[in-house]
């Protein structure tokens, strides 16, 4: 099953890549976009008609409330396209910010994946008249596992309790394009990365890639629903796109080398865990012995200082021993909120 998946992942990456070859080229002699300096919850126009909102984050600082995901929105001639739906409360905040930049209607919102901080605000956007778009797997995960996960999340957040789970309106397999004579956005699925249903938004005219959590800038690399081998391959495929600016799901915008940092983290983590398994070490011993100093330089926190990263080590440890059924993570109605691999995994 693992081998078959690896092959599918490669095919997925190849299909996604076929898109960029046909995409618009930026204007001849166009300058490289600057990397914007951002404060929390600030909005900046990062390219003509393209806005980025940098959400507050808490992974590095417990005093800062979690503001969900970042957002990019693109103002077309007649409508606005938004990347990510966030939680219900933050969705309303972002809508207010969008209205300060344009009076055009919000027509489409992309859920980059099914996680709450990227999709649970769907109902708020729908009230604005927007259609929700997502990859087929994200749409399916929201249908099959969504109601139970929503109930769980509603225990912790009043805005979720007071809202409702809105399902996806338009789903796609490889790509979904929106284009007029002012803007061009291509939603692309590269394969199983952070989740089985990840979508990124590529803006070929501006050389911007909005990655959702498929590539983040900081210690936000949650791996519990990932396929780390496929993730590395897909990041390498993404790297072939012509990109000036990455707008990640969490963390600050960055140059294209962010893709290489994310790739390096997964590659070195897998190598270290593999060595540990070969030396018959326990997951705890491997975790303690991890030494990726550059990760702290990049993210500000040590590679195993956060519970999220400790869970990532466990996830890779289980993956490398064939204890994670990646198909199950993406395609079936199995609960996705487990942190330990299920024993006696049933195939579908």
Should residue 252 be labelled a site residue for Zn ion when binding is judged by CB under 5 A?
no
Should residue 192 be labelled a site residue for Zn ion when binding is judged by CB under 5 A?
no
Least CB distance from residue 220 to Zn ion, whole Å? Answer: 8
Beta strands in the chain (DSSP E): 42-47, 50-54, 71-75, 80-83, 106-110, 131-135, 170-172, 175-179, 184-188, 200-203, 208-212, 245-248
Shortest-Cβ-distance residue relative to Zn ion:
115
Looking at 198, 213, 244, 262, which residue binds Zn ion (CB under 5 A)? 213
Should residue 84 be labelled a site residue for Zn ion when binding is judged by CB under 5 A?
no
Spatial separation of the C-alpha atoms in residues 51 and 45, rounded to whole Å:
4
CA-based max dimension of the chain: 61
Should residue 225 be labelled a site residue for Zn ion when binding is judged by CB under 5 A?
no
Kindly tell me which of 115 and 175 has the beta carbon lying closer to Zn ion.
Answer: 115
| SS3 category, 82 | strand
Least CB distance from residue 115 to Zn ion, whole Å? Answer: 4
Report, in this order, helix, strand and coil percent for the chain, each rounded to 5: 40, 15, 45
Kindly tell me which of 213 and 262 has the beta carbon lying closer to Zn ion.
Answer: 213
Should residue 111 be labelled a site residue for Zn ion when binding is judged by CB under 5 A?
no
Evaluate the CA torsion angle 93, 97, 100, 106 in order and state its sign.
negative
Kindly tell me which of 98 and 141 has the beta carbon lying closer to Zn ion.
Answer: 141
326: left (phi over 0), alpha (psi -120 to 50) or beta: alpha
Looking at 89, 115, 135, 175, which residue binds Zn ion (CB under 5 A)? 115
Q: Select the span of 18-26, 33-41, 111-119, 131-139 touching Zn ion (CB under 5 A).
A: 111-119
Kindly tell me which of 56 and 101 has the beta carbon lying closer to Zn ion.
Answer: 56
Which spans of this chain sit near Zn ion (rule: CB under 5 A)?
Answer: 115, 213
């Amino acid at each position: 099953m693992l081998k078959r998946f690896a092959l599918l992942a490669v095919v997925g990456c190849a299909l996604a890549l076929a898109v960029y070859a046909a995409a618009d080229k930026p204007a001849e002699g166009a300058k490289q976009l600057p990397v914007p300096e951002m404060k929390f919850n600030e909005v900046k126009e990062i390219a003509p008609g393209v806005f980025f909102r940098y959400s507050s984050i808490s992974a590095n600082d417990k005093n800062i409330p979690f503001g969900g995901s970042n957002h990019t929105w693109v103002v077309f001639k007649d409508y606005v396209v938004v990347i990510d739906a966030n939680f219900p409360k933050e969705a309303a905040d972002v809508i207010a910010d969008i209205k300060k930049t344009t009076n055009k209607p919000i027509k489409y919102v992309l859920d980059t994946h099914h996680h709450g901080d990227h999709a649970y605000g769907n109902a708020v956007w729908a009230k604005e008249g927007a259609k929700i778009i997502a990859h087929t797997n994200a749409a399916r995960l929201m249908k099959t596992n969504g109601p139970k996960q929503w109930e769980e999340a509603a225990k912790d957040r009043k805005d979720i309790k007071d809202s409702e789970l809105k399902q996806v309106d338009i789903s796609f397999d490889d790509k979904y394009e929106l284009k007029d004579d002012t803007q061009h956005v291509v939603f692309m699925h590269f394969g199983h990365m952070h989740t089985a249903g990840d979508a990124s938004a590529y803006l070929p005219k501006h050389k911007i890639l909005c990655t959702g959590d498929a590539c983040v800038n900081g210690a936000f690399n949650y791996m519990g629903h990932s396929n780390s081998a496929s993730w590395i391959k897909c990041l390498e495929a993404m790297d072939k796109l012509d990109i000036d600016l990455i707008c990640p799901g969490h963390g600050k915008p960055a140059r294209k080398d962010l893709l290489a940092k994310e790739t390096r983290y997964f590659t070195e983590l897998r190598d270290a865990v593999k060595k540990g398994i070969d030396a018959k070490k326990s997951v705890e011993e491997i975790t303690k012995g991890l030494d990726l100093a550059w990760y702290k330089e990049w993210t500000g926190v040590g590679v195993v200082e956060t519970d999220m990263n400790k869970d990532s080590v466990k996830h890779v440890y289980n993956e490398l021993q064939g204890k994670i059924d990646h198909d199950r993570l993406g395609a079936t109605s199995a609960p996705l909120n487990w942190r330990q691999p299920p024993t006696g995994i049933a195939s579908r």
